[in-house]
Amino acid sequence: MTPTAPAGAPFLPWNQPTIGEEEIAEVTDTLRSGWLTYGPKAARFEDAVREALGVQDAFAVSSCTAALHLAFLTLGLGPGDEVITPSLTFCAAPNALLQVGAQPVFADIEPATLNIDPQAAEAAITGRTKAIVVMHYGGHPCDLTAFRKLADDHGLILIEDAAHALHASRDGRRAGAVGDLAVFSFYANKVMTTGEGGMLVGRSDLIHKARPLGRHGIDSSAWRRHGQRNTADYDVSVPGLKYVMPDITASIGLRQFTRLPAFTARRSEIATAYTEALATLPGLTIPPVLPGVEHGWFLYSVLIDPATAPLDRNQAAQVLRDVHQIGTSAHFKPVHTLAPYQSLDTCALPVTETAAAKQLSLPCYPAMTDRDVDRVITAMRRLWSS
């Protein structure tokens, strides 16, 4: 098969962050300021996200996983509690549930959006169910209206794992603004990054409880105590952990967040180009955008059906990598198949398992040039014509 990359062309990675001089200048300013840990810049970053989402409160933390762990600790989830969640997700939320002693109960997904199916979630509710953790797969928000109603009707807490969906919305509701709590990730491959980082947002009563849990249980932040010059005057109200976001990290976040609308617009442009060019390839399902959805386009996620396509997902990934020098990724290995979950009593998840075997994520990020986009399109078409 003829490669699509010109001889000597660099490998096109599946994902790459966009970091510019403004992020570097903001970090330099923080380094020169004398205050490196959680402080004024983290507070400004929290304010920016809180205002953009219209949520009551926001807490900048060291990762999305930290935000999930804090959310579950804040809610007092523990042994005997069941929490409904998809299996086609990253292991962070289920892992954090096991860490607090609660039991993840996996519900199947919708075949089109790959988001948790509200009907499957409802069928999984028992007398022990305490919460539902939805995940906005690839940046396409799940049915937020249905999940808010489901949670309210059954007296359950709704948590949004919005790691993929900062700057996405559905029916006029921002992803991350509907749950009692929601979490975002600023990991290096996300729609905006701080390298590592996360944000816990939501109801002010819950965030008020989460803050001390994320700073050793201490009742006020080091920045505030420092500002008041009484650094030793503190109490520990709960046995907390250390999860706060340092100001060095928040500096990157502040700048990335102002660029997020432009990042999303470029992601959307790339997604449109792919969809126009690839939609007719037999056996290839392109990602849908349901009416009323502003997609965040963390993933451009296709499904390859080996019954009608000339090759299967693994073969496609291999040829793209070895022949065309193009990186891809797969999202995700279903969590119920991972070692710590195999002994759980899990209901049948046929849509999850079928989708996971066919799913492939193509490169889709703002650092890509138009030539990069054309290269991916040409390579995909060659896969289908060989």
Ligand X SMILES: Cc1ncc(COP(=O)(O)O)c(C=O)c1O
Which residues here bind ligand X, judged by CB under 6 A? 63-65, 89-90, 92, 135, 161, 163-164, 185, 187, 198
Picking from 28, 27, 37, 48, the residue whose alpha carbon sits closest to that of residue 225 is 37
Angle at 385 (CA atoms; ends 379, 386), nearest 5 degrees: 90
Nearer to ligand X among residue 89 and residue 346 (C-beta)? 89
Instruction: Count other Cβ atoms within 10 Å, centred on residue 188.
Output: 14
Per the annotation, the verdict on 358 as an active-site residue is: no
Residues 287, 271: contact at Cβ < 8 Å?
Answer: yes
> Considering the complex, what minimum distance in angstroms separates the CB of residue 385 from ligand X?
33
Shortest Å distance, C-beta 61 to ligand X: 9
Quick check: 23 and 251 in contact, CB under 8 A? yes
For ligand X, the closer CB: 141 or 325? 141
Q: How far is the CB of 110 from ligand X (least distance, A)?
A: 16
In the bound state with ligand X, the residue whose beta carbon lies nearer, of 243 and 309, is 243
Q: How far is the CB of 310 from ligand X (least distance, A)?
A: 30
- Least distance in Å: CB of 120 to ligand X? 18
Query: Which CB, 159 or 302, lies closer to ligand X?
Result: 159
Smaller CB separation from ligand X, 30 or 89: 89
CB of 164 to ligand X, least distance (A): 6
- Token pair of 188, please? 């290096």
Nearer to ligand X, 65 or 328 (CB): 65
Residue of 41, 130, 149, 190 with catalytic role: 190
Phi, psi of 301 (to 5 degrees): -110, 115
Side by side, the strands of the sheet bearing 293-294 are 173-174, 169-170, 293-294
Under 8 Å between Cβ of 321 and 13: no
Smallest separation (angstroms) from ligand X to the CB of 245: 11
Residue with smaller CB distance to ligand X, 187 or 274: 187
State in angstroms the smallest separation of the CB of 66 from ligand X: 7
Tokens found for residue 229: 């010059």
| Strands of the sheet with 157-161, listed across from one edge | 57-61, 198-202, 181-185, 157-161, 129-135, 82-86, 103-107
d(CA 326, CA 306): 21
Contact 135, 116 (CB under 8 A): yes
Report whether 107 contacts 130 (CB < 8 A): no
Closest to ligand X by CB, 362 or 383: 362
What is the set of active-site residues? 190
